Amino acid sequence: MTRLEVAPPHDHPVLIGRGLEPPQPQGPVALVYDAAVEPLALKLAKQARPELTLRLEGGEASKRLAVYEDLLREFARARLPRDAEVWALGGGTVTDLAGFAAASYLRGVAWLAWPTTTLAMVDAAVGGKTGVNLPEGKNLVGAFHPPRGVYAELAALDTLPEATFREGLVEAFKHGLIAGDAALLAPWDLAPGRPELEPYLARAVTVKIGVVERDFKESGERMKLNLGHTLAHALEAASGHALAHGHAVAWGLLFAALLGRELGGEDLTQPVLRLLAWTRAPAPPTGGWADFAGYVARDKKNRSGGLRWVVPYAAGDVRVEPVAEAALRAAFNAWREHAAGYSG
Amino acid sequence: MTRLEVAPPHDHPVLIGRGLEPPQPQGPVALVYDAAVEPLALKLAKQARPELTLRLEGGEASKRLAVYEDLLREFARARLPRDAEVWALGGGTVTDLAGFAAASYLRGVAWLAWPTTTLAMVDAAVGGKTGVNLPEGKNLVGAFHPPRGVYAELAALDTLPEATFREGLVEAFKHGLIAGDAALLAPWDLAPGRPELEPYLARAVTVKIGVVERDFKESGERMKLNLGHTLAHALEAASGHALAHGHAVAWGLLFAALLGRELGGEDLTQPVLRLLAWTRAPAPPTGGWADFAGYVARDKKNRSGGLRWVVPYAAGDVRVEPVAEAALRAAFNAWREHAAGYSG
C-alpha cells in the first residue's frame, strides 16, 4: 500500500493499494456508488455500515444537475447531519457529482473519494475539483472541495475493461511529460494485478499533487495540467462526445508534441504515437484549421487575459505561453497528416 | 454614506446610503434582479452596462434548484468568463440564489450583493451564506461565498411595503439583544427616508459582522444569531410558511425572552411584546408543547452533538447552552398564554 499526502489547504491522504482498510467514519455515511462496481460497493457497505446507500449509473450522462438534485434530496430525506460523510465510489463522473453534492449539502459536508478507474485515480479524484456539466458545456458548475481522503482500491480495476484501463492512463502519461518522469512515459506493460501498477499510479498521482499544491485554483502552474486539452476538447465536441476523453487527450498530446517541436523543443512525437496505438485510439474527427481555430476562438472567451498554450519543450520542460498563429497552424497541419495516415 | 469593513476571509466592504456609486466592474457583469425593484435595476444597468440582465420574481418560491439551473444556463449561454461578476439586486431570496449561482458557476465567480429589503440588508447579504431550498427544507443546499461588496441602497426601501420594512427589522432587533445595543431595541420611529435609518442599519450590520468575523462557519459564536429561531422555524413550518420569517422570529424572541427569565435572567419580554405589535405580527399557529417538542426532536437530528439553546440572560448576555426540559416547558407555557391573549 502506498500512502501519499496532499498538503493544506487540501490536507488529505491518497492511499493506493489492494484491500484498503476503510477509515473510521466521522459521522453517518452516505455511500454513493457506480453501478459498474456494485460488488465492491456491497463489500464497502458491510465495513462502513452507511446510513444511506445510493446507486448511480456512471458515465457522462449522469453528471448533470437533475442527478445532483436527486442526491441532495436523498440526503435531505435521510436527514443527514452536518457531520455526515459522503463516500463516492466510482469513476470520475461519480466522484465529481457526489463530491459536488457533498460540497453544497448543508453548505458543505465531508467526503471521501474511492476512484475505481485509472482515469479517476490519477486525475479526477485528486485536486479538489467537483462539479457537473450543463447542456452548454462540460464542468461549467461545481466547487473546489477537497475530499477528506482518496482511496484508490486496485481491486476495482480487475473488472475494468482493458480499453478503459489503458485510456485512463493517458493522463498519467501526460503527468510524465509535465514532470519529466520517464517511467510514466512507458505504461506499455501495465495491466490490473501487475505489481508495477501501484508504483506507476503513485508516481502519476505525485505529479498531480505537486501541481495542485503549488496552485490550488488553477491560475498559473495548474494550467500545465491542460497539456493537450485544448485540441482534445475541440475533438470531443466535434465528435459529439463519442471520442473518449483519454483518446482525445492522446491526440491532443500529439498536437502539443508537434507544437513543441515546431517551436524548437525536443521531438516527443514517438512516445505519443506509441501511446495512441497502445490505447487503441480511433482516428480523430476530420476538420481543418478553420474548424479548430473557430473552436478555440469561442473557447477563448471563457478565459481571462487572452489565450496561452501549454507547450512541451521537453519532458519536464512544459511552459505556458502565448504562441504565434503561424506556429500553431504548422503544428496543426503536421498533426492532420498524422491523423490522416493513422491506422490505429 | 456609511462604509463598514468585514475582515478576511470575508474581506469586503458594506456600504449603506442613498445614491450609492456602483464600483468599477472587474469583468463582464451579469445583473440578476428582483422584479419588485425594476426601476432601480434599470438605473443600475445604465451605470454598470451589464453583459447580461436577468429578471427574477423574488420570494421564497424562486429559491430553488430549477431557478438556480436557469441562472447557470443563462450565464453559460452568454459565455460569461471566470472574471465575470454577478450583481444580485433584490431581497434575501434573490441574493441567496444569485450568490449560490455565482459560487458554483465555473466553480466560483465574484459577486456583489445589492440587498433591497431591510431583512436582506441587516441579515442575508452579510456573512457569506448563499443557497437555495429543497422541497425537504429551507437552505439545505448552498455555499459559503462572501460577496466582493455589499451595497445597501436606501432608495430601494422607498417602495418597500411598510409591513415588510418593519418585519425585516426584527433581525436588527435580535442583533440588539445579542450585542446589548439599546439603540437597536428601539426601532419604533424608523421609516424609509428618515435620517435615523442609516445609522440604525449600520449598527445592526456591525453586530452581524462582529459575529461572523469571530466564527465564519457557524460552529459556536455564530449560533447566537439563531436567537429565537428554533421556535420560529417550528412556527413557520406549522403555518405552511404563511407566517412571515420576521414575524416568526419575533414570536421566537418572545419565547427566548421568557426562557431567559425562567432561567434567572433579566426580563426582556416588554420590548419584544412591543416589537410584535410594531411589526403587526399576526397571532402564531396554535400548538401544544408536544407539537413543539416533536418538531425540535426532528430538527435536532440535523445537529451534531446534541441540542443547545440560545438564551438571552440580558441584552448583551446571550449564551448558547443545554437547557433542562422543565425550563423549556415552563417558558413554552408562558409563551402560549401570551400568544392566546394576543390581539395584535
| CATH code for the domain in which residue B24 is found | 3.40.50.1970
Do A153 and A237 share a domain, yes or no? no
What digits encode the pLDDT tens for the residues A130-177? 999 999 988 999 999 999 999 999 999 999 999 999 999 999 999 999
Report the pLDDT value the prediction gives residue B27, as an integer from 0 to 100.
Answer: 95
Do B136 and B257 share a domain, yes or no? no
Do A10 and A107 share a domain, yes or no? yes
State yes or no: pLDDT of A95 exceeds 60.
yes
Q: How many CA atoms lie within 13 Å of B311's alpha carbon, on the beta-carbon side?
A: 22
Do B254 and B134 share a domain, yes or no? no
- Interface residue B135 vs chain A (CB under 8 A): yes
Do B155 and B231 share a domain, yes or no? no
Ranges of chain B whose pLDDT falls below 70? 216-219, 299-306
Is residue B103 one of the residues assigned to a domain? yes
Nearest to A105 by CA among B297, B234, B144, B99: B144
Of A72, A143, A301, the CB nearest to B134: A72
- Interface residue A301 vs chain B (CB under 8 A): yes
- Interface residue B83 vs chain A (CB under 8 A): yes
Do A158 and A240 share a domain, yes or no? no
Q: Which of A116, A145, A162 is the last residue of a domain?
A: A162
Is residue B211 one of the residues assigned to a domain? no
Q: Which of B162, B188, B212 is the last residue of a domain?
A: B162
Cell 422607498, located at residue: B158
Report the pLDDT value the prediction gives residue A218, as an integer from 0 to 100.
Answer: 56
CA B72 to chain centroid: 24
Nearest to B28 by CA among B116, B106, B144: B106
Rounded-to-integer distance, Cα A151 and Cα B331, Å: 50
Do A17 and A157 share a domain, yes or no? yes
Do B112 and B235 share a domain, yes or no? no
Is residue A221 one of the residues assigned to a domain? no
Chain B residue numbers touching A27 (CB-CB < 8 A): 304
Chain A residue numbers touching B104 (CB-CB < 8 A): 100, 104, 131, 141-143
Report the pLDDT value the prediction gives residue B108, as an integer from 0 to 100.
Answer: 97
CA distance A344 to chain B (A): 36
What digits encode the pLDDT tens for the residues A264-280? 999 999 999 999 999 99
Q: What is the tally of structural domains in chain B?
A: 2
Chain A residue numbers touching B82 (CB-CB < 8 A): 302-304
Cell 436527486, located at residue: A70
Report the pLDDT value the prediction gives residue A91, as an integer from 0 to 100.
Answer: 95
Of A65, A82, A304, the CB nearest to B82: A304
Q: Work out the average pLDDT over A59-81.
A: 95
- Interface residue A306 vs chain B (CB under 8 A): no
- Provide the 10 A C-beta neighbour count for residue A190: 18
Do A236 and A153 share a domain, yes or no? no
Residue type (1 letter), A40: L
Rounded-to-integer distance, Cα B22 and Cα B283, Å: 41
Nearest to A215 by CA among A320, A111, A104: A320
Do A22 and A124 share a domain, yes or no? yes
Contact A127, A208 (CB under 8 A): yes
- Interface residue B297 vs chain A (CB under 8 A): no
- Interface residue B106 vs chain A (CB under 8 A): yes
Is residue B310 one of the residues assigned to a domain? yes
Report the pLDDT value the prediction gives residue A228, as an integer from 0 to 100.
Answer: 95
Do B20 and B103 share a domain, yes or no? yes
Of B144, B301, B302, the CB nearest to A107: B144
Of A105, A136, A304, the CB nearest to B76: A136
CATH code for the domain in which residue B238 is found: 1.20.1090.10
- Provide the 10 A C-beta neighbour count for residue A46: 10
Quick check: A298 and B27 CB within 8 A? no
What digits encode the pLDDT tens for the residues B269-297? 999 999 999 999 999 998 889 988 888 87
Is residue A15 one of the residues assigned to a domain? yes
Across the A:B interface, residue pairs with CB atoms under 8 Å apart total: 91
Cell 490490473, located at residue: A192
Quick check: A72 and B141 CB within 8 A? yes
**ipTM score above 0.90:** yes
Quick check: B106 and A302 CB within 8 A? yes
CA distance B109 to chain A (A): 11
Of B79, B105, B144, the CB nearest to A141: B105
- Percent of chain A beyond pLDDT 70? 96
Cis, peptide link before residue A9, omega less than 30° from 0: yes
> With bands split at pLDDT 50, 70 and 90, how would you rate the model's confidence at A294?
confident
Rounded-to-integer distance, Cα B166 and Cα B250, Å: 11
Do B6 and B88 share a domain, yes or no? yes
Is residue B85 one of the residues assigned to a domain? yes
Is residue A275 one of the residues assigned to a domain? yes
Distances (CA, A) of B82 to B76, B109, B222: 11, 6, 31
Cell 451595497, located at residue: B151
Is residue B145 one of the residues assigned to a domain? yes
Nearest to B140 by CA among A203, A289, A84, A283: A84
CA distance B246 to chain A (A): 22
Chain A residue numbers touching B144 (CB-CB < 8 A): 107-108
CA distance B260 to chain A (A): 28
Chain A residue numbers touching B127 (CB-CB < 8 A): none
Quick check: A81 and B131 CB within 8 A? no
CB contacts under 8 A, A 137-156 vs B, are 137, 140-144
Quick check: B142 and A72 CB within 8 A? no
Domain extent, residue B281, equals: 227-344
In this structure, chain A runs to a length of 344
Quick check: B104 and A141 CB within 8 A? yes
What digits encode the pLDDT tens for the residues A255-266? 999 999 999 999
Quick check: B141 and A103 CB within 8 A? no
- Find which of B140, B145, B301, B307 to mutate to test the A interface (most A CBs within 10 Å of its CB): B140
